[in-house]
A and B are shown apart, each in its own frame.
Chain A
């Protein structure tokens, strides 16, 4: 008699399709009057603690074309490295840092988030992970949402000690996960395929 472990199987993913905006950014897609404002348009609200930054970039396909129909979501900790989430076991998250944002890319595949620089978050085996923002990208032609992380170019010391970046460094690709900071702007271009292909994660 074999022991049965009756775990259910996860519902399979399917592409979000070219009209993903109807469901995720309805006002952007021209469906007004159903909800007052598209969800995720503000990552932080007035009074948030921390350094205000703009995170912007382009999503590009394997032919060098902009992915003009994608939707990008981000998830990040507050300036103290605490997540504003019921699943966060620590207390004291900044109530003005929602930590989650969603933007439809424009015709050039470009997205922009106004947010704050997150603090360092504890690593599973002690120590800290370097400051980072989790990204999730869906679009026509993407069968299962693509997950990656953006780290910061002005955090070289912390980045060297980060356990996830270390895995990417072993295959010479950690540079694709670093957002380039200049003043208050961080640039993070995402290449889905080919030369400079961004590291994607199975999290």
Chain B
């Protein structure tokens, strides 16, 4: 592409290198499932090509009216999910602190008692007939998102004999390029289970763990209705491309 005219439409910039000190390693034996599912060989690194700089886009018109309201999106008409009513909201930014607009965020969670609606799940806590546990939204022009739900319960799992997950909500995030694709989990401020969770502790950097903890946000809490939690998310940023073509990406 060396012969591109100077005024040609700029290609989106390559992504900043992923800082693996901020992420869990593949092999983390405290989390037993990772032992047979972690590659042993080193990853091959290369600067992002068009294949990583591009990614799918989803239009706001794809969304149903209740897609971001887990309190009612699975409930029978006139009924609602049981549990602590909350709104989770925040801003999706890239590493250049630039908002990431118009991208899909998907989330899923257990119900108020820690029970997932999934065919392979056998925890004795009961299902809530009015709670599905799935939702999605698309960020607005400023990268903001929000959804209503009930606060999930803690959940026991077969790792150690007595391991329990902290209350958490799973997030799946798209960016503008496929290299930004990310799945993570959001925890709740003050939960004593966070510090002793083997999955949380696959992340070695305490400050990085802290960035997965949503803050209680009393200023956005709706009196006599629901409490608010604030959770901002950061995706990889694009590098400037001064030499390939005009500066772009931050």
Contacts and interface: CB of A to CB of B under 8 A. Distances in A.
Interface of A: 6-24, 26, 29-31, 33-36, 39, 61-63, 65, 67, 69, 73, 75, 77, 83-89, 98-100, 121-124, 126, 129, 132, 134, 136, 138-146, 149, 163-164, 167-168, 171, 173, 192-194, 197-203
A11 B52 contact: no
**5 A-B pairs closest in CB distance:** A23-B108, A141-B33, A141-B37, A100-B56, A85-B54
B111 to A, nearest CB: 11
A145 B73 CA distance: 29
A146 B24 CA distance: 13
Contacts of B33: 15, 140-141
B interface majority secondary structure: loop
B240 to A, nearest CB: 12
A62 B11 CA distance: 40
Given A73-B181, A141-B36, A173-B41, 19 more contacts: A9-B22, A12-B208, A15-B183, A22-B117, A31-B74, A35-B64, A63-B36, A65-B36, A75-B55, A75-B178, A83-B50, A84-B56, A86-B57, A88-B54, A121-B49, A139-B37, A142-B38, A143-B25, A164-B46
B150 interface: no
Contacts of B10: 89
B193 interface: no
B96 interface: yes
Greatest chain A CB density within 10 A among B48, B64, B133, B233 is at B133
Interface in B1-39: 1-2, 8-12, 14-20, 22-26, 28, 31, 33-39
Given A23-B107, A144-B24, A11 B57 contact: no
B235 interface: yes
A193 B177 contact: no
Contacts, number: 275
A193 B39 contact: yes
A67 B51 CA distance: 26
A22 B116 contact: yes
Majority DSSP secondary structure for residues of A touching B: loop
A77 B18 contact: no
A124 B176 contact: no
A19 B108 contact: yes
Nearest to A88: B54
B2 A126 contact: yes
Nearest to B53: A87
Interface of B: 1-2, 8-12, 14-20, 22-26, 28, 31, 33-41, 43-58, 64, 66-67, 73-74, 93-97, 106-108, 116-121, 132-136, 170, 172-173, 176-179, 181-185, 199-200, 202-203, 205, 208-209, 211-212, 233-237
A88 B170 CA distance: 29
A26 B132 contact: yes
Contacts of A197: 39-41
Nearest to A29: B118
B56 A15 contact: no
Nearest to B24: A143
15 contacts: A14-B183, A14-B202, A34-B74, A62-B37, A62-B40, A85-B54, A89-B12, A100-B55, A126-B1, A143-B23, A145-B183, A164-B49, A171-B41, A198-B39, A203-B45
Contacts of B37: 61-62, 67, 139-142, 192-193
Contacts of B20: 202
A141 B217 CA distance: 32
Nearest to A100: B56
B55 A13 contact: no
A161 to B, nearest CB: 14
Given A14-B24, A124-B49, A34 B117 contact: no
Contacts of B56: 75, 84-85, 98-100
Contacts of A126: 1-2
